[in-house]
């Protein structure tokens, strides 16, 4: 709006330059210590004995199995949650019904439940001692201490991500375009694929990105339900814990570095989306 500080004059809505630089300095220093330092520490510890040791530690059988397991969990949990997110956003934004606010609160619930409590809930529901779990185990379908339990725990933790991103975007876009498509004779599916989806694709990608990052990194809930069986139910974060507790620092930090790279790529893509498609994102900022 105003042309900043022209010469000796300072705009009425600006702080003195000294105060401004002091605040910027504090922000940089704080984020440097709190965020940048741990980031550097991960890579420094991973490479403490050189590249070769780091890469070699990722090559052993348990590490490979952990990576495969984590990828598999994300490959199941993320699409399921994306499907849920789309369905929930459609249901909530295209229809008017009583209890909508309550439904949204329920969908948001996992954000305010401790991951450990989430894991506990799943153990109590599907553990061998429970009614459902006992029956399933007896018929050869163990949930807890097996893949389904880990997937369920991961889904619980990442449940709201996609829905929460899509709902505000779809509220903003309204129903007019879909209504137009319907009056032109399009079927419901066709309307969804050709009208709704193109309008929400970046928001969907954004939500999926966050959901995936959290799914691959989930620790607390998975720690409770996985049983931590090496080579079977140990995900990457669980493996990091086991290696770390065995004082295999390079191996633990090498695997941590892989997950850190994933986090950095996620942030990069997220920032790119925010810059290029800001108009189509509710962005996590508009809570």
Q: Which stretch binds another protein (CB under 8 A): 55-63, 165-173, 200-208, 233-241?
A: 233-241
Q: By three-state DSSP, how is residue 242 classified?
A: helix
Nearest distance, CB of residue 160 and another protein, angstroms = 9
CB of 255 within 8 A of CB of 66? yes
Nearest distance, CB of residue 12 and another protein, angstroms = 4
Residue 185 binds to another protein (criterion: CB under 8 A)? no
Residue 263 binds to another protein (criterion: CB under 8 A)? yes
Among 18, 52, 102, 112, binds another protein (CB under 8 A): 112
Residue 84 binds to another protein (criterion: CB under 8 A)? yes
Per-residue mark of binding to another protein, 3-42 (x: CB under 8 A): x--x-xx-xxxxxx---x--xx-xxx-xx-xxxxxxx-xx
d(CA 204, CA 91) in angstroms, rounded, equals: 16
Q: What is the chain's length?
A: 287
Residues 186-205 that bind another protein (CB under 8 A): 187-189, 191-192
Contacts of 263 (CB under 8 A, 6+ apart): 213, 217
Among 54, 167, 216, 234, binds another protein (CB under 8 A): 216
Residue 223 binds to another protein (criterion: CB under 8 A)? yes
d(CA 198, CA 177) in angstroms, rounded, equals: 12
Residue 60 binds to another protein (criterion: CB under 8 A)? no
Residue 74 binds to another protein (criterion: CB under 8 A)? no
Residue 106 binds to another protein (criterion: CB under 8 A)? yes
Locate 42 and state its tokens: 């991960």
CB under 8 A, 24+ apart: contacts of 251-254: 251/57, 251/58, 251/63, 253/42, 253/43, 253/45, 253/46, 253/48, 253/54, 254/46, 254/54, 254/55, 254/57, 254/58
Nearest to 104 by CA among 154, 197, 167, 153: 167
Q: Tally the C-alpha atoms within 13 A of residue 238's C-alpha that lie toward its C-beta.
A: 25
> Cα 38 from chain centroid?
20
Nearest distance, CB of residue 240 and another protein, angstroms = 5
Q: Which stretch binds another protein (CB under 8 A): 52-60, 164-172, 198-206, 260-268?
A: 260-268
Task: Using the minimum distance from each CB to another protein, give the nearer residue, 166 or 202.
Answer: 166
Residues 114-133 that bind another protein (CB under 8 A): 114-118, 120-125, 127, 129-130
Among 58, 220, 248, 277, binds another protein (CB under 8 A): 220
CB of 156 within 8 A of CB of 221? yes
Residues 144-183 that bind another protein (CB under 8 A): 152, 155-156, 159, 175, 178-179, 182
Residue 282 binds to another protein (criterion: CB under 8 A)? no
Residue 261 binds to another protein (criterion: CB under 8 A)? no
Q: ∠98-158-275 over CA atoms, to 5°?
A: 95
Nearest distance, CB of residue 199 and another protein, angstroms = 15
d(CA 248, CA 286) in angstroms, rounded, equals: 42
d(CA 243, CA 255) in angstroms, rounded, equals: 9
Size of the site for another protein (CB under 8 A): 110
């Amino acid at each position: 709006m105003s042309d900043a500080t022209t010469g000796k004059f300072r705009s009425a809505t600006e702080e003195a330059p000294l105060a401004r630089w002091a605040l910027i300095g504090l922000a940089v220093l704080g984020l440097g210590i709190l965020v940048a330092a741990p980031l550097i520490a991960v890579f420094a510890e991973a490479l403490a004995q050189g590249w070769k040791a780091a890469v070699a530690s990722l090559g052993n059988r348990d590490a490979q199995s952990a990576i495969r397991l984590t990828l598999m969990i994300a490959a199941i949990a993320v699409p399921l949650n994306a499907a849920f997110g789309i369905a929930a956003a459609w249901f909530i934004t295209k229809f008017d019904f009583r209890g909508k606010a309550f439904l949204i609160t329920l969908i948001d619930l996992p954000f305010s439940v401790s991951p450990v409590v989430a894991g506990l809930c799943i153990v109590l529901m599907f553990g061998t001692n429970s009614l459902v779990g006992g029956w399933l185990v007896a018929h050869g379908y163990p949930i807890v201490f097996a893949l389904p339990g880990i997937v369920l725990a991961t889904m619980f933790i990442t449940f709201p991500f996609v829905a929460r991103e899509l709902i505000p975007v779809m509220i903003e876009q309204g129903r007019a375009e879909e209504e137009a498509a319907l009056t032109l004779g399009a079927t419901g599916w066709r309307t969804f694929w050709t009208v709704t989806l193109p309008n929400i694709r970046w928001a969907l990608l954004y939500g999926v990105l966050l959901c995936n990052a959290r799914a691959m990194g989930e620790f607390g809930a998975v720690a409770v339900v996985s049983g931590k069986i090496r080579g079977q139910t140990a995900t990457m974060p669980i493996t990091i814990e086991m290696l770390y507790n065995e004082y295999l620092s390079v191996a633990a930090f090498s695997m941590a570095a892989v997950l850190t790279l994933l986090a950095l790529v996620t942030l990069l893509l997220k920032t790119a989306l925010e810059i290029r498609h800001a108009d189509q994102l509710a962005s996590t900022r508009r809570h």
